[in-house]
Chains A and B, each alone.
Chain A
Amino acid sequence: EPEVTQTPSHQVTQMGQEVILRCVPISNHLYFYWYRQILGQKVEFLVSFYNNEISEKSEIFDDQFSVERPDGSNFTLKIRSTKLEDSAMYFCASSTRVWQFFGPGTRLTVL
């Protein structure tokens, strides 16, 4: 069964550092998403991406965040200068249209 994969599973970084979280969506999917979940809180939508551009973004997705699909398979989320409050699980998802398939997540810890 096809699945969304994410690397790394756990990333530890110092405050102020840049991090790149990587995702490989399901190969024939057209829509790509990032979500985050702070420990003990709700899953929150960050951004959606379609046809090589951002389609929708939430208020959380400010100038510190960027997304890219550098080749035909990877989809990345970059946080330019991490803050303590960026510590969370980050989930990538992809879809053909109707429902979304989620990856296992990357746990980001900012020290």
Chain B
Amino acid sequence: DAKTTQPTSMDCAEGRAANLPCNHSTISGNEYVYWYRQIHSQGPQYIIHGLKNNETNEMASLIITEDRKSSTLILPHATLRDTAVYYCIVGSGGGADGLTFGKGTHLIIQP
């Protein structure tokens, strides 16, 4: 089972920052937090990952709390194309380990 808890759905206005929360209170010290998204029935798309420090790339920012029990994915200027299901996944540093997907958060960007 997924080790994360996310809201089922969220709305955000186009152009605004979308902040997606995730709880992972049982995360182990060597486990990363990964974010993927799935647009309609397409293949999941990697967004960002982190261990302890906050991370930023061209798609998003990831804020991880100091106790690592929760995190927030931030899409700084949401567009209609960001409407998707967003998955927060906890796991080891990749390699042969499969990802355990939960139900994710359905983010709807409103025009």
User: A residues bordering B, Cβ < 8 Å?
Assistant: 4, 31, 33, 35, 37, 42-50, 55-56, 58, 89, 91, 93, 95, 97-105, 107
Q: A78 to B87, alpha carbons, bound, how many Å? A: 28
When the two chains form their complex, are residues B101 and A43 in contact, meaning their CB atoms are under 8 A apart?
A: yes
Residues of B within 8 A of A100 (CB): 44, 46, 94, 99
What are the interface flags for B63-107 relative to A under an 8 Å C-beta threshold, 1 for contact and 0 otherwise? Answer: 000000000000000000000000100000111111111110000
B94 and A91: CB pair below 8 A?
no
Q: Are A42 and B94 in contact (CB under 8 A)?
A: no
Report whether over half of chain B's contact residues are helix, strand or loop; otherwise say mixed. Answer: loop
B42 at interface by CB-CB < 8 Å? yes
How far is B46's CA from A4's CA once the two chains are assembled, in angstroms? 13
Whether A105 contacts B42 by the Cβ 8 Å rule is yes
The answer to whether A99 touches B44, judged by C-beta atoms less than 8 angstroms apart, is no
With CB as the reference atom, state the residue of chain B lying closest to A54. B96
Instruction: Return A44 CB to nearest CB of chain B, in Å.
Output: 7
Interface residue count on the B side (C-beta < 8 Å): 23
The reply to whether A91 and B96 form a contact with Cβ atoms under 8 Å apart is no
Q: For the complex, what is the distance from the CA of A28 to the CA of B96, rounded to whole Å?
A: 15
Q: Would you give the shortest CB distance from A1 to chain B, in whole angstroms?
A: 12
A105 touches B95 (CB 8 A): no
Which residue on A lies nearest to B102, using beta carbons?
A42
The answer on a CB contact under 8 Å between A50 and B96 is: yes
C-alpha spacing A100/B35, complex, angstroms: 11
**A58: chain B residues within 8 A (beta carbon):** 98
Q: Are A97 and B45 in contact (CB under 8 A)?
A: no
Which single member of A43, A103, A107 contacts B38 (CB below 8 Å)?
A43
Scan residues 17-39 of chain B and give those whose CB is less than 8 A from a CB of chain A: 32, 34, 38
In the complex, A4 Cα to B94 Cα: how many Å? 17
Specify which chain A residues have a CB less than 8 angstroms from the CB of B2 in the assembled complex: 42
The 9 A-B pairs at the shortest CB distance, nearest first, are namely: A45-B98, A102-B43, A55-B96, A98-B94, A43-B101, A99-B46, A48-B96, A97-B94, A102-B44
Nearest B residue to A37 by beta-carbon distance? B41
Give min CB distance, A58 to chain B, whole Å.
7
